[in-house]
Amino acid sequence: MRDFLLNESLRRLATEAATRYNAMVAEGEQIPFDVATDTAEDSPFYSYVPQTGRFVEERVGELHALPSWSAAREAVVEAGVASTYLEGRGEVVPPEPGTRAERMLEVFTVELFREGTGFALDRNRLEAQVSTLDAEARSADDADLLMVPIVGLRMSMNRLQLPNGVRIVRADQVAAPIEAMRSEGMGRAAWEPQFLAVAEQGNDGAEAALEQLRELISVMRMFKVGGIGLGPFAFAPTGEDTWRRITTGAPATRPGGYRLSEEEGTELADFAAMLEQRPDPDSALSWAVGRFEMGCERESAMEGLSDHLLALRAVLEGHGPVGASLPLRASALIADENFDRIEARERVEEVLELERALMNGRMLDHAIELATWIEDGARRLLRQAALGELGNDLSTTADETLITSGLEAGDAEIMVYAEGDSEVEDSEVEEPAVEPSPVDEFRVIQARELTADAPDDGAYAEPDDLAADLREAESYLGDDEPDYETDLEEDEPLETRILEPIPAPGEIKVTATHWLDEVEDERGHSLEWPAPEEERDLQHREKIDTPRVRHLFPVPDSNWDVSHLEFDYSRRR
């Protein structure tokens, strides 16, 4: 939108300035001349060029005495165009508004007469100067679109259309400023094409368009791995060959680039369209996505390890039906065809150990592989969560996945209470099986040992199986109760097996090996307290070092050996 008052005041000032300088020349003032550098070779004479711009610059004080000077100065102050105009020409910008306006009018007048041979006012040149000032004074919010160079992007297509009027185009296919075409800092060679992210501006202005372009980079980072980001400046067209530059505030981009095939481009557009139909993520998921992006902005996956773990902790830690640990929940959601749930859990535990090692200045084997794997796992998990495939509470989803798949050996015993309505109809509740007593179990074991059908470990996982065997044992042994003292040898201890408790209605019980059972004992007996005297030898004591309990018994980095202090009582006075 042109400022009518500003334009008219500039035209009046230019007319009065031309009249004043012509009068000065008529009164005998000399216009300095310079020898032209483009003199024709066939001419034996020198060519002199009048330095009208220099003449005006040396006499800018004459402008201050013109009748239209004060009005033009006030119009420039009101329009607020002096700073942009002076910056675009490399001038020092004064801090005081009035001084800035005066300096702008001086530079404007010098530029108006710089290439003339005299001070006759050229109306075409004046209108061109005024139009240029209007374009430079326009706000970026008034532009129709906003474009930003994309750092690191390489793709085979010339154009990729995305939702909400956002598109990616090759810079040489559209009108773009020269600064947006430079390869310096763009993660590409000078002969490779530069791509621009373009967003159409609505009534919300440039900031809203810039936010759309930031979301585009976020979507691309969640879509696949690679170093991609926005350039440091965005450009808004404000006139013919005139651009308004604004900063994006984008951080540095991870090296390595971001390659996008034509097939991947179609998948990216579909992915962005599905995300557009979903509501914006809130609470923990929104924070996790932001933290994940911080990790992607790091120089490498190793540098972003803690950021990616924080993203997982934000959406997976907390209360749930099971209350499982982070490795258990993460493995339930990021397991794939390459790593099943148990293998994924072990790798997550290795990643946590790697983070602790990095904090202490140490490095583990396969560190880069682990860091890359956890970044890809966090990307897949957040992508599914953003699409609504995992529900609103990822902790609950992970716990329910664990319950469905079942906790395997190595996981702690967990009692899970089913959520929902506590009132269950009697017809939907099955009668719990009667738990056999240890005496009954002993009768079955004795009978099966006599028939050579007893299992190797003598354990019964299901009470129904034990009850069936109990009936068979009674038919074999009769109704006589076994005599523990006579049926067992004197030196053989009585082994009593305690069966798993029967879950109550509405309760789900998931059982697995307790972590203490992972400690192997070659002597054939369980851990005792206090330990026998022969096991108190610290030098030959068995070292407890399993993946699940290693963090409970930290080993110091240094081996401290403090000798016993001796005191000579004979020297005491």
Q: What share of the chain is helix, strand, coil (3-state, %, to 5)?
A: 45, 10, 45
Q: Residue 423: what pLDDT?
A: 43
Q: CA-CA distance, 224 to 268, in Å (whole number)? A: 9
Is it the case that residue 194 has pLDDT exceeding 70?
Answer: yes
**Residue 315: HSE in the Cβ half-sphere, 13 Å Cα cutoff:** 32
Name the band, by pLDDT with cuts 50, 70 and 90, for residue 28. confident
Q: Identify the residue whose tokens are 């010339």.
A: 158
Q: Indicate the average pLDDT of the chain.
A: 76
Q: CA-CA distance, 287 to 229, in Å (whole number)? A: 19
* Percent of the chain scoring above 90 in pLDDT: 27
Q: CA-CA distance, 342 to 331, in Å (whole number)? A: 7
- Which of 221-225, 460-464, 536-540 has the highest average model confidence (pLDDT)? 221-225
Q: Residue 353: what pLDDT?
A: 94
The three-state secondary structure class of 340 is: coil
Q: What is the 3-state secondary structure (H, E, C) of 477-511?
A: HCCCCCCHHHHCCCCCCCCCCCCCCCCCCCEEEEC
Query: Which two three-digit tokens encode residue 66?
Result: 């013109």
* Percent of the chain scoring above 70 in pLDDT: 68
Is it the case that residue 469 has pLDDT exceeding 90?
Answer: no
Query: Which two three-digit tokens encode residue 237?
Result: 């067209």
Q: CA-CA distance, 558 to 392, in Å (whole number)? A: 47
User: Where in the chain are the domains?
Assistant: 4-137, 140-271, 282-417, 438-487
Q: How confident is the model over 333-353, as pLDDT tens digits?
A: 988 888 888 899 999 999 999
Q: CA-CA distance, 417 to 322, in Å (whole number)? A: 8
Which is more confident, 107 or 472? 107
Indicate yes or no: pTM above 0.95: no
**Which residues, at least 6 apart from 296, have a Cβ–Cβ distance to it below 8 Å?**
221, 254, 304, 375
DSSP state at residue 260 = E
Q: CA-CA distance, 59 to 21, in Å (whole number)? A: 9
Please give the full DSSP string across 517-536, using - where no structure is assigned.
Answer: GGS--TTSS---SSPPGGG-
**Which residues, at least 6 apart from 219, have a Cβ–Cβ distance to it below 8 Å?**
268, 271, 272, 275
Please give the full DSSP string across 414-430, using - where no structure is assigned.
Answer: EEEE--S-S---GGGSP
Q: Residue 129: what pLDDT?
A: 84
Q: Which among 167, 301, 284 is positioned nearest to 221, based on CA atoms? A: 301
Query: Which two three-digit tokens encode residue 228?
Result: 């991609």
DSSP H stretches of helix in 256-340? 262-277, 283-297, 305-316, 326-334
Cα of 513 vs its chain's centroid, Å: 37
Q: How confident is the model over 129-155, as pLDDT tens digits?
A: 888 888 777 777 778 889 999 999 999
Q: Do strands 195-200 and 145-151 pair parallel, antiparallel, or not at all (unpaired)?
A: antiparallel
Q: CA-CA distance, 231 to 181, in Å (whole number)? A: 11
Q: How confident is the model over 470-508, as pLDDT tens digits?
A: 565 555 555 554 444 444 444 555 444 444 445 444 444
Q: Residue 287: what pLDDT?
A: 92
Q: Which among 396, 398, 416, 400 is positioned nearest to 511, based on CA atoms? A: 416
150 and 227 Cβ atoms separated by less than 8 Å: no
Q: CA-CA distance, 161 to 169, in Å (whole number)? A: 9
